[in-house]
Structure 1
């Protein structure tokens, strides 16, 4: 008796599955499953920022656990917005969740021109894909710039 590769196999030996020796067949695929979760199982909830009263957050929640956050400021007078922070948990980084969150922000504030002050490696590619330009300390809006430059206590 031989297997598919022509190697001899003992008669009483168990046949291994085609997926591999240590693969669990009931487990869903990692990256594809996370991408599916990004569009089905994640709720996007607006919230005030815990650090600063002038900022707002978009919380990314998966089964009562916050897995990400986008912190931003908007100015209704100038129709400009500044994204000040993007945080995603490690398992949700490369599954399209950041793109979904920023697209949600754009749909909630359709007349706002978005900028960012972030220049970290993790967020640079996301913001470039979403065509959000990088600016200095607070953007071109004088209302947001004064709020970013002024200390939180004043």
Structure 2
């Protein structure tokens, strides 16, 4: 049993990124990759995914809100690789969020150095 509803691990797809996940009965039901730069006050998320049976239940909205709450003061963006299929989603979860999950390239602090 997890101590919290969220589990953060290294992303399997993106070197230096983290993955935020939610599990239910041992199955992953929500995941999103994220990267932070405190120096620039920026955060990025990529590929938010909720399993079909739990889509449109607010799980991704709550997961992203929890992530922002744990990392206050950041403007949140995406690299834009999944924009075509997620415009409606971004408009809902980005409302009132600094950065609004609009596309933005990685800052020089992250792009110019190897990931930890």
TM-score (norm 1): 0.60
Higher RCO (C-alpha under 8 Å, 6+ residues apart): 2
Displacement, 1:55?
0.1
Displacement, 1:93?
0.8
Q: Does 1:127 align with 2:95?
A: no
Where does the alignment leave 5 or more consecutive residues of structure 2 unmatched?
A: 95-99
- Number of aligned residues: 105
TM-score (norm 2): 0.77
Where does the alignment leave 5 or more consecutive residues of structure 1 unmatched?
A: 1-41
Query: Greater helix share, 1 or 2?
Result: 1
RMSD: 2.3
Q: 1:146 to 1:64 in 2, by over 3 A?
A: same
- Give runs of aligned pairs for residues 62-81 of structure 1, distance below 5 A: 62-81=24-43
Structure number with greater Rg is 1
Residue 16 of structure 2 is matched in structure 1 by 54
Residue 32 of structure 1 is matched in structure 2 by none
Runs of 4+ deviating beyond 3 Å: 144-147
